[in-house]
Copies of this chain bind each other. A is one copy, B any other.
Amino acid sequence: MQKILTGNTRVKGENMRAASLPLSTHNNERIPPRDRLLAVAADLFYRQGIRAVGVEAIAEAAGTNKMTLYRHFPSKDELVAECLRQVAREGVERWQRYEAAHPGDPRAQIHAWLTEMAGIVTDGNHRGCALANAAIELPDRTHPARRVVEEYKLAQRKHLAQLCRDAGLHEPELLADELYLLLEGARVTAQSIGNVGLGARLLRMAEAMIAAHQAP
């Protein structure tokens, strides 16, 4: 089996990831180890895959060790679930930002969402939705992480449908599904095919869909 370089060739006690990662684990001073572990784990899980990342690598990347990790999380599975819970939290915060930026204007909120997502998809480091990826990587439906994924995805679709309804668009649920599936598909496909021009295409397609649901 092909192994991925884990980069744990760092000198003992030193942190080599300071310059290479957006995650600033080099200023460990005041961030409690639990938060460092969560942030680092979420990042590693997303970029390398959940099963591909060992707990030792997570602890090391967070500037701590395995024992501290297991003092804060009962198991790797629970750590995974907690990471996804954080990702889901960021997702609902995004919607709250749209609402704050465009209060009472659901159309503008949808548009803001589409625009931001188009940008995210176009990013070269994008690897799809962390929650959807987790569902694919963890086929066991009893895994604690699966509940997080299912709840978040349902809430996401429900919120989008409500926005479509509030915007007075026809067949709001159907439109919400169209938009949601289109975007989800774009996030998956971007990994296999690439994402040149995908962002702009995505916006055009979404706008056409919304327009189709605007006329009676």
Does residue A18 face the partner (Cβ distance < 8 Å to B)? no
Q: A154 vs B194: C-alpha distance in the bound complex, in angstroms?
A: 10
A139 CB contact (under 8 Å) in B47, B132, B181, B205:
B47
- With both chains docked as a complex, state the minimum distance between the C-beta of A139 and any C-beta of chain B, in angstroms: 6
Q: Is the CB of B181 within 8 A of A2?
A: no
Count how many chain A residues have C-beta atoms less than 8 Å from C-beta atoms of the other chain: 51
| Nearest residue, chain B, Cβ from A184 | B185
- With both chains docked as a complex, state the minimum distance between the C-beta of A170 and any C-beta of chain B, in angstroms: 11
Does residue A97 face the partner (Cβ distance < 8 Å to B)? no
Contact A178:B157 (CB < 8 A) given known A136-B136, A191-B136:
no
Does residue A212 face the partner (Cβ distance < 8 Å to B)? yes
Measured between beta carbons, the chain B residues less than 8 angstroms from A131 are: 192
- With both chains docked as a complex, state the minimum distance between the C-beta of A211 and any C-beta of chain B, in angstroms: 9
